[in-house]
Amino acid sequence: MVKVSPSILSADFCNLERDIRRVSCADWLHVDVMDGAFVPNITIGVPVVQSIRKCTDLFLDVHLMVDKPVRYIDSFCKAGADLLSVHLEADHPTRITDALRAMEANGVKKAVALRPITSARAILPYIEQLDMVLVMTVEPGFGGQKFMEGQLETIREVRALIDKYNPSCELEVDGGVGPGTAERVIEAGATVLVAGSAVYGTQDPASAIDSLRRAN
């Protein structure tokens, strides 16, 4: 069964602890870190991840939408992240490698993320050492956007590369995932679904999580 990683970007930040408890049946918790440079929005930073770590045992899946993420790897690891995703567009390949090495040194799971413009083949230099690949199905920056259908093909291509080079690597899909799209996303090869508005925009987040898990 696929894992569901609710995105707290759609939570009420005045009631973050309550909203994290509301999704305690989830597999992971998705934390969107944005720096106002790599993406046009600013969200969560290291101190907030530190506080979240104290109030949940959920696996913290931290999505870094920041320029030159290598600068922040140690800090987010120490704050309590279980997995970090760095965008391949956010720095030169040598510094992406440095970022992955820093995750390894901290004992945190390693992932790279792809904007919709980036081809699946961009993961090739890293694939064998990764725990996860994150495919964006919206332009990163905001929750509640429409799923980009064209990205189903990228998901399939990433699935084929994972099957060939590193079959145990997770494939996470992020952006516009909900009841209308989850089935096709799973069919294309996803193993982890991120969902913000499809979980927090409903009266019953626990049952929304459950139906996403059963979407195929």
Is residue 174 annotated as a catalytic residue, yes or no? Answer: yes
Is residue 143 close enough to count as binding ligand DX5 by CB under 6 A?
Answer: yes
Strands annotated E in 2-121:
3-6, 28-34, 59-65, 83-87, 109-114
Q: Is 32 marked active-site?
A: yes
Residue 87 makes contact with ligand DX5 by CB under 6 A: no
Q: Please, is 48 exposed, middle or buried when counting C-beta atoms within 10 Å of its C-beta (0-12, 13-18, 19+)?
A: middle
Nearer residue to ligand DX5 within complex by CB, 96 or 198? 198
> Among the candidate windows 5-13, 48-56, 77-85, 180-188, which touches ligand DX5 by CB under 6 A?
5-13
Q: Tell me how crowded residue 163 is: count the other CB atoms within 10 A of its CB.
A: 12
Q: Considering 19, 27, 32, 131, which one is annotated as catalytic?
A: 32
Helices then strands, counting H and E runs in the chain, come out as: 8, 8
Q: Which amino acid is at 84?
A: L
Q: What is the Cα–Cα distance from 55 to 186, expressed in whole angstroms?
A: 30
Binding mask 146-175 for ligand DX5 (x = CB under 6 A): ----------------------------xx
Residues contributing to the site for ligand DX5 (CB under 6 A): 7, 9-10, 30, 32, 63, 138, 140-145, 174-177, 194-198
Residues assigned a catalytic role? 32, 174
